[in-house]
Structures are given as C-alpha cells and as structure tokens.
Structure 1
Amino acid sequence: MVDMGGLDNLMANTAYLQARKMWDGDSRELQRRRRSLALPGPQSCAPLPQALPPDFHRLCEQQPVGRRLFPDFLATVPRYREAMAFLEQVQSWELAEGPAKGSSLQALVAAAGTHPPSSARL
C-alpha cells in the first residue's frame, strides 16, 4: 500500500514549490517592469537641450503642455488676447471640412483685413 502521509507531504511540497516558482517569476517580472519604467540618468539627458532647438512649433504646438499653457499665457497679457483669438480662428479653419472650411477662411480673412498691421498695434 501507499503511505498516505508521505503522499500528502509530497503533494504539499510540490504545491509549495509551484507557488514559490510563480512568486519568483512574478517578482522577476515586476523588477523587469520597474527597470523599464525608470527614467534615464542626468548624464544621458544633458545633451538634449542643445540638440533640440527651442522654437514656437515644437514648444507651443507639438508638446501637450505647450498647447495648454501658451493660450493661458496669451490670456494674461491684454495686448496678446487678440493674437489668441486669431490663433483660435486659424485652428478652427484648419480643422474645418468641406464648405465650412471656405466660409471659415472668408471670416478669417475678413477679420484680419479689418485690423491695422501688427506693428501699429504693438
């Protein structure tokens, strides 16, 4: 006959080893994920500001924080509020489709034609 106590012990040890193997695998997976989420060191990021020239398109249009903060900045300076309204009109024209795009362009040109040149306003 088979010793039931020995069989229970064998099953318990096997289950324990399987559980430990899964736990070790999970911890390794978590460590790998943590390493992949780590930010690069300052040494590797130091040359980036010199490599990427600061320009309006990159800072204020491409980057999400720039798209959000640039209109807020324009709203704080009274003489730039008109520029903010113009940029909003241009953006709505760029996003318009079909006949709405033509009418939006006409409204934009008409609004720009009623104002004096920008050098006279600033």
Structure 2
Amino acid sequence: MSDFNFKFTNHLASTTEKLAAAGKKPPKHLLSRLQHLHSCTKKVQLSLAHLLPQDILDSCTVTYADTHTITIALHSVTAANHLRYQSKHCLMALRHFDHAFRQLDELKVIVVPKFQNRFEKTPNLH
C-alpha cells in the first residue's frame, strides 16, 4: 500500500482558489481591491457610528464601492431593514465624512449568511 502525502486539487476550482490552496498569495489586483473594500468598511463604520447601533456596525461590510454606489452587506434581515430605513441619513453622513463618498447617489444593502469557521467547534445536535 502506497502512502500519499499530497492533496489533490479540486479540478472545478477557479485559478485563484487553486493558488490559495497551494499557499500562494492572491494576485496584486485582488489584494488591492480587498484593501480598498476594507478601508471603505472602516470609513462606513466610523461615519455611521452616530446613526446605527454598535452590533449593526460590527457586522457591516462594504462589498462594492464606486463613486456613485456603495453596497453594504449585513448578517441579518432586521439589521438590513434598519439600515435601509436610515439610508437617506446614512448617505448624507457618508458624503460629509469623506471626500471619496461625496458623489454617492445610492446605498445598496444586502444580507449574507454569517461565515462560520469550519475549525470552530459546532454543537453536536444528536
């Protein structure tokens, strides 16, 4: 019996996923985009601190941002509805907070499931 010490890559995975599985760094353009979205997320959290509860701020993530549109992802429908209800005030706060947001016309809100780390212990349901 032969003992194999390597993993087979998923042939259906994208090139980026295959590189990540091999321990390679992401391409520079993706890394740059991720840093931009992370920066936007921090700015959004700071600028909306006086409008939204802390639990909503902690769960918000900017998933798209250009000069006219910003998309914020939240983990719950209730939080998303709260942000949608406050969207006009949020847009005004964002415009006043940072010059990069001055031309924002649209705030989109999406709901995404909360990521669960597969290495965290999950309760046994049996």
TM-score, structure 1 normalization: 0.29
Answer 1 or 2: which has greater strand percent.
2
Greater Rg, structure 1 or structure 2? 1
Bigger relative contact order, structure 1 or 2, given CA contacts below 8 A and separation 6+? 2
Answer 1 or 2: which has greater helix percent.
1
TM-score, structure 2 normalization: 0.28
